[in-house]
Amino acid sequence: MAAINGTIYLLSLEGTPLAMQTDATLNLEQDLPDATHKLSGGWADHINGLRSWSIDVDGRLSGLAGGNFGLLFNLVTNRSNVAMEFASEVTGYVKVTGTVSLGSVSLGAPLEDTAPFSGTLTGKGPLTMAIVS
């Protein structure tokens, strides 16, 4: 099977791709609470616990109030939850969807360089996976 070029995957919020993104990473987690007991034969044991997910996103600043940073800023200040899609437009590729809240956002201002932004979107409820058709 061929490797997939990550450039074709975009993070969209409320149906609109987040402008000027350079990287997005989907994180899936599951707590594994300890269930070890005296009859475990000296081996650690666990149960499958709480599941959670998040997306870390990085990009280049595109306008302040009306650009990508303004959108992210408003998600925090308005305490908004929004629909998210992390997908390619290529038929047969995976896409994931869910609802997110923005937990943090940062804006950089380097000397004589493009201004970067980064943020972490935290999943609210289940994450669903489908195939692009």
User: What's the CA gap between 29 and 54, in Å, rounded?
Assistant: 9
Is 66 within a domain? yes
Position 119, amino acid: G
Neighbouring CB atoms inside 10 A of 67's CB total: 15
Domain assignment of residue 75, given as a range? 6-33+44-131
pLDDT tens, residue by residue, 68-100: 888 888 899 999 999 999 999 899 999 999 999
Number of domains observed in the structure of the chain: 1
Is 67 within a domain? yes
Q: What is the DSSP string of 42-59?
A: T---B----EEEEEEEEE
pLDDT tens, residue by residue, 108-126: 999 999 999 999 999 999 9
pLDDT tens, residue by residue, 10-21: 999 999 999 999
Is 39 within a domain? no
User: What's the CA gap between 62 and 104, in Å, rounded?
Assistant: 18
pLDDT tens, residue by residue, 20-79: 999 999 999 999 999 999 999 999 999 999 999 999 999 998 876 668 888 888 899 999
